Amino acid sequence: MILILITNLLILSAVVYGAPKKKTYSELKSCDLGNLAEEIASYDTVVKDIIDYAVTGPFKGKTYDELAKFVDKFGARPSGSQVLEDSIDYMIELTREEDINDIVTEEVKVPHWSRGEEKLTMLEPRVKNIAILGLGMSVPTPPEGITAEVIIIRNFTELENIEEDTIKGKIVLYDPVFTTYGKTVKYRSQGATKAAAKGAVASLVRSIAPFSINSPHTGMQTYGKNVTKIPTAAITLEDADLIRRIITRGEKVILKLEMTSTYDDKISRNTIIDLKGRDRPDSLVIVSGHIDSWDVGQGAMDDGGGLFISWAAPVILKRLSLRPKRTIRSIFWTAEELGLVGAKAYEEQHRNDSYNINFIMESDEGTFAPLGLAVAGNQEARCIIAEILKLFESISASTLIEDDSPGSDITLITSIGVPGASLYNENSEYFWYHHTEGDTMNVLDEHELDLGTAFWTAVAYIIADISVDIPR
Ligand SMILES: [Zn+2]
């Protein structure tokens, strides 16, 4: 009843006032670019050519096909594994086949965390197997496992207010309400440390996700200094709800956790592919994604999609003989999942030439239908990008979102003042699959990947070719 009334009201107000027209970034910020606006508009033909080539022409379906071949061959590509290194070699070969030979790799020391065997069993009030995924860098349990009562915690404030004696010797289960990933992920990344500080023997976290079909979601966590490292893992939304219901009814839950994870260091590589600029080869427009993945699923969405649209950009430009003024650099970051390790190494190795980065892009939040860009930079920079995005109205990808820390890897570089952007896309279901066995090709759509490839390639081309640098 109430719903019907509200719907009627909405229809009424739409009839009376008309649907409000959403203002564009340029209108909101009164961007005045003078002659540059005309110059940018003149790229409409090349944008159309790139979209045609990628969406209906010779490249139609290729991003999906190549990505499928890649993930079907290698599967998951965890940091420090041989399969990750083999997949890097494969991408280099695939690029050479396109007659692009300006490829270097840079070595990086990366963590090699291996989850081993994992098992979580509810012993009381009844015996039940609980699905888990250990969190990145978790220490193992002793061989006999850890058996303890569960204390359920909604948020860190609740944890702080509970006396140490109540928590000591128990397994803390964080059961936060998922709002956004950014706001909720701290229970995964810092949960073990905060629980250990209060004397817990292990910690679990409700998977950081809005939706579940009994799938645990893994992810990185970091131990703080000077606290005991306790084993830590994610459980499903369903089991977190189950345990909460049982405890709320006044019953005790006893769990037995067994984990055999191991850890050492390995050498991996960032991969750098250049399509050299014709006038200013030292000035870089970077497109990027990470090639490593979690050890579950196939890393098709995270971040195979970002990897392959960033691979496609120089390939399509080369095929269309479109050589911009500045260099298009495609980077495949290594070991993103275990703490942006490849990107940190790149930033350190290239700190002195970082001024050569004109603009840096990363796609690591899904490659569903592109909507535009999430942009870090000053207002002038954003005005220029907003003007470029106007050329993508035909594929509904003209929206500019202000985002001071876009992407994952590239925030290390945008935070020192380099303008950059991540792909803003129709990713409302991204966290359903993120870091789970469900991250497979089935999540992705061939046409949406074509649109993403077209958009990514054309945006990078224009930024690399226009007469002005993106201001800092
Ligand atoms: Zn990712």
Torsion of Cα atoms, 66 then 69 then 73 then 74, to 10°: 40
273 lies in the same domain as 393: yes
pLDDT at 462 > cutoff 90:
yes
212 lies in the same domain as 294: no
63 lies in the same domain as 124: no
Q: H or E stretch including 209?
A: none
What integer pLDDT is reported at residue 458 of this predicted model? 98
What integer pLDDT is reported at residue 20 of this predicted model? 61
205 within 8 A of 173, measured Cβ to Cβ: yes
Confidence of residue 455 (pLDDT cuts 50, 70, 90): very high
214 lies in the same domain as 285: no
**Distance (Å, whole) CA 401 – CA 391:** 16
Expressed in angstroms and rounded, the spacing between residue 410 Cα and the centre of ligand 1 is: 12
Mean pLDDT of the chain: 94
Expressed in angstroms and rounded, the spacing between residue 439 Cα and the centre of ligand 1 is: 11
What integer pLDDT is reported at residue 19 of this predicted model? 58
The CATH number of the domain holding residue 325 is 3.40.630.10
273 lies in the same domain as 255: no
3 found inside a domain: no
Distances in Å between the Cα of 341 and the Cα atoms of 333, 409, 429, 430 are 8, 8, 27, 23
pLDDT at 459 > cutoff 90:
yes
Q: Count the helix, strand and coil residues of the chain and give each as a percent rounded to the nearest 5.
A: 40, 25, 35
270 lies in the same domain as 185: no
Expressed in angstroms and rounded, the spacing between residue 7 Cα and the centre of ligand 1 is: 39
Expressed in angstroms and rounded, the spacing between residue 364 Cα and the centre of ligand 1 is: 5
Q: First vs last Cα of the chain: how many Å apart?
A: 54
pLDDT at 122 > cutoff 60:
yes
What pairing do the DSSP bridges indicate for beta strands 146-153 and 171-174?
Answer: parallel
pTM: 0.93
240 within 8 A of 206, measured Cβ to Cβ: yes
Expressed in angstroms and rounded, the spacing between residue 270 Cα and the centre of ligand 1 is: 15
381 lies in the same domain as 240: no
What integer pLDDT is reported at residue 231 of this predicted model? 98
345: tokens are 């190494």
Please count the structural domains in the chain.
Answer: 2
Residue owning tokens 């207010």? 161
Confidence of residue 24 (pLDDT cuts 50, 70, 90): confident
Residue owning tokens 């579950």? 296
**AA identity, residue 422:** S
141 lies in the same domain as 181: yes
pLDDT at 13 > cutoff 60:
no
Determine which of 2-16, 36-50, 95-109 has the lowest per-residue pLDDT on average. 2-16
Residue owning tokens 């980077």? 331
**Distance (Å, whole) CA 259 – CA 232:** 9
What integer pLDDT is reported at residue 449 of this predicted model? 98
208: tokens are 């950081």
What integer pLDDT is reported at residue 2 of this predicted model? 41
Per the structure, the complete domain to which residue 346 belongs is given by 25-113+265-465
Q: H or E stretch including 27?
A: helix 25-29
68 found inside a domain: yes
Expressed in angstroms and rounded, the spacing between residue 337 Cα and the centre of ligand 1 is: 6
461 found inside a domain: yes
**Distance (Å, whole) CA 139 – CA 134:** 9
5: tokens are 């009334």
Report pLDDT digits (tens) over 405-435: 998 999 999 999 999 999 999 999 999 999 9
- Active site (catalytic) residues: 336
Domain endpoint, select from 260, 276, 298: 260
Domain endpoint, select from 209, 243, 260: 260
303 lies in the same domain as 442: yes
**Distance (Å, whole) CA 78 – CA 264:** 13
Expressed in angstroms and rounded, the spacing between residue 149 Cα and the centre of ligand 1 is: 34
Q: H or E stretch including 384?
A: helix 379-389
319 found inside a domain: yes
pLDDT at 206 > cutoff 50:
yes
13: tokens are 């107000």
